[in-house]
C-alpha cells in the first residue's frame, strides 16, 4: 500500500470517529445535568460534550448561564471556554479528514474564505459569537490545514469570551430574580 492510501484511510477513520462521537454525545444529552454536581470539572465536561457534536444541537450555553449563577462566573467562563474549544477540535478534525464534507454549501465557502483571509482572527470572532455555523468554520480551518494549536488557541479565546458573557449573564439574572 502506498502513502496516499494510508493518508486517505487515516482521514476516513478520523471522520468515522467524529461521526461516532457526535452520535454518542447526542444520545446522552439528557444526562448532562448530572455533571453539574462535579463543579468546574463537570462544567468542563458539559461544555466539551455540547461543542463536540457536529450539526446536532446539545445543551450547553443554558447550563453555563445557570452555573454562572451558582459558581464564580469568571471561572465558569474560563473552564467552559476550554471545554468548548477542545470540543470544537472535533469539527476541525472532520474538516481535516474529509475536506469536501460541506464544500458545496455557500456558507461553507464564505467561512472558508474568511478563515483563509483572516486566519486566527476569523476563528476567534466566529467562536466568540453564538452561532450554529461554527462547526463549518472549524471544518474549514481543518480543511485549510490551519495548525491545530493555532485553531485551538483562537477558539479557546473566543469561546471564553462567549462563555464569560453567558456566565455573568446567568449570575446577573439570578440577582435580578432573587
Cα distances from 149 to residues 121, 145, 146, in angstroms, run 14, 11, 8
Residue 152: partners with Cβ closer than 8 Å, 6 or more residues away: 85, 86, 89
Q: What is the pLDDT of residue 47?
A: 87
* pLDDT above 50 (res 76): yes
pLDDT in tens, 44-73: 988 888 888 765 555 677 778 777 777 899
Residue 86 DSSP label: H
Q: What is the pLDDT of residue 31?
A: 56
DSSP 96-160: HH-TTSSTTSHHHHHHHHHHHHHTHHHHHHHHHS--TTHHHHHHHHHHTT--HHHHHHHHHHHHH
Strands (E), the chain: none
76 is written with which cell numbers?
465558569
Higher pLDDT, 174 or 96: 96
pLDDT reading at 146 higher than 60: yes
Mean pLDDT of the chain: 79
Q: What is the pLDDT of residues 88-117, one digit of tens each?
A: 898 888 888 765 555 566 777 888 889 999
Amino acid at each position: 500500500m502506498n502513502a496516499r492510501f494510508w493518508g486517505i484511510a487515516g482521514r476516513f477513520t478520523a471522520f468515522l470517529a467524529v461521526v461516532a462521537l457526535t452520535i454518542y454525545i447526542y444520545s446522552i444529552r439528557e444526562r448532562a445535568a448530572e455533571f453539574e454536581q462535579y463543579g468546574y470539572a463537570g462544567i468542563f465536561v458539559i461544555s466539551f460534550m455540547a461543542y463536540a457534536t457536529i450539526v446536532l444541537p446539545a445543551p450547553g450555553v443554558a447550563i453555563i448561564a445557570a452555573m454562572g449563577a451558582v459558581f464564580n462566573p469568571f471561572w465558569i467562563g474560563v473552564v467552559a471556554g476550554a471545554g468548548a474549544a477542545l470540543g470544537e477540535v472535533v469539527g476541525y478534525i472532520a474538516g481535516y479528514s474529509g475536506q469536501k464534507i460541506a464544500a458545496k454549501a455557500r456558507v461553507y465557502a464564505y467561512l472558508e474564505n474568511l478563515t483563509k483571509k483572516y486566519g486566527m482572527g476569523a476563528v476567534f470572532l466566529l467562536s466568540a459569537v453564538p452561532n450554529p455555523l461554527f462547526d463549518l468554520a472549524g471544518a474549514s480551518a481543518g480543511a485549510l490545514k490551519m495548525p491545530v494549536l493555532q485553531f485551538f488557541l483562537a477558539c479557546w479565546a473566543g469561546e471564553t469570551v462567549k462563555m464569560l458573557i453567558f456566565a455573568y449573564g446567568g449570575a446577573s439574572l439570578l440577582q435580578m430574580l432573587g
